[in-house]
Amino acid sequence: MSTTSRIADRAAAIPAIEREDVALLLVLPGLFIFAAFMFFPMLYLLGISFTNARPSNLFAGGGLLTFGEATFVGLQNYAAVLSDGKFWNSLGTTWLFVATSLVLKIGLGLGVALVVTNQRVRGARFLRSLLIVPMGLPAIFTITIWRGIFSSAQFGLANQLLSWLGAGTVAWLNERWAAFFAYNVTEMWLAYPFMVIITVSALQDVPKELHEAAMVDGAGYFARFFHVTLPSVKRPVLFASILTAAASFQQFLIPYAFNEGGPARLNELIIVYGYREAFQFSQYGQGAAIMLVAVAFIGAFMWLNVKKGRLADGVDDA
């Protein structure tokens, strides 16, 4: 008898506790910890977003986890944020970053997965083990390496490559769209191992009989790819895409480490924008409002994609 079963039997032996309630009692500690580290910070953030909280008043006079001397200002922070052009520029840049980086991640992940699952490729298993190496490196380490590659100086690897090709150097981190391109390449590098793992798993589950039947019907490689392979891996790739898109929406390290969302705040993704408003300009109330608006957008995005992608089908039947 397992330890869990013995605990359940002993708890059920207590007169006031029914056996059906034991399972709930066992998960209560986990629920409490989850609530303490998820719901309470969100509620506190929500409270701050309705105040004029700044470092000078939030930590003055009150005890721990209070609003100090900050006063209630209603929806003033939300109105200020939604009427700020920098907020809409940040939100638009964020969605553009999500869309462009997602296309790159899917393209690279699918392409690499097709290569390492092809029977004609020698050493495919070894290649698969190498592909996940970037996942074992700290993100800030990888981002720092890429920041050096896209250095605006002449010795940056990207500029050296351009010079070798006969083109001029680019001030990668000082020009808006050059920096945005650098963000995308780095995000693609960080996320492609996850996309490859999911896609490889999906490709291995595609029945060989489908490909053989299509070949008998005279279908070429591209016809089999579009009519057999893609439909078979669509749902796993869609699931991975939604997760990585959500991660892109919350991306902070790349723009902040590269050039703090510059130049001139033009490339500030929404999380960087909220962080700088809160901690560099000491507008805690507005920073909280920005973060909650971001949470609302990403929540709606996740719900819509799960709903439209029918990824939750069968959950209610479990």
What is the structure's pLDDT at 234?
A: 87
Encode pLDDT of 121-144 as tens digits: 888 788 888 888 888 889 999 999
Lowest-confidence region among 12-21, 198-207, 261-270: 12-21
49/289 Cα distance (integer angstroms): 5
Encode pLDDT of 76-112 as tens digits: 999 999 999 999 999 999 999 999 999 999 999 999 9
Average pLDDT estimate for 159-163 = 91
Joined tokens for residue 146: 């890429």
Q: Decide: 288 and 278 in contact? Cβ < 8 Å.
A: yes
Encode pLDDT of 279-293 as tens digits: 999 999 999 999 999
**Count of C-beta atoms within a 10 Å radius of residue 43:** 11
285/293 Cα distance (integer angstroms): 12
Average pLDDT estimate for 210-230 = 83
Say if residue 263 is preceded by a cis peptide, omega within 30 of 0: yes
**Is pLDDT of 42 > 70?**
yes
- Whole-prediction pTM value? 0.84
> From the centroid of its chain, how far is CA 287?
20
Lowest-confidence region among 20-24, 109-113, 225-229, 251-255: 20-24
270/92 Cα distance (integer angstroms): 9
Lowest-confidence region among 60-64, 126-130, 158-162, 271-275: 60-64
Distances (CA, A) of 236 to 163, 197, 222, 242: 41, 10, 20, 10
What is the structure's pLDDT at 63?
A: 63
Distances (CA, A) of 310 to 133, 244, 301, 303: 32, 18, 14, 10
**Is pLDDT of 216 > 80?**
yes
The mean predicted confidence, pLDDT, of the chain is 86
**Is pLDDT of 294 > 80?**
yes
**Is pLDDT of 317 > 70?**
no
Joined tokens for residue 175: 């020009």
**Count of C-beta atoms within a 10 Å radius of residue 243:** 16
Encode pLDDT of 43-57 as tens digits: 989 999 999 988 888
318 band by pLDDT with thresholds 50, 70 and 90: very low
What is the structure's pLDDT at 18?
A: 65
Encode pLDDT of 65-85 as tens digits: 678 888 899 999 999 999 999
142/185 Cα distance (integer angstroms): 12
Q: What percent of the chain stands above pLDDT 70?
A: 89
What is the structure's pLDDT at 281?
A: 92
| Dihedral angle of Cα 190, 193, 199, 204, to the nearest 10 degrees | 180
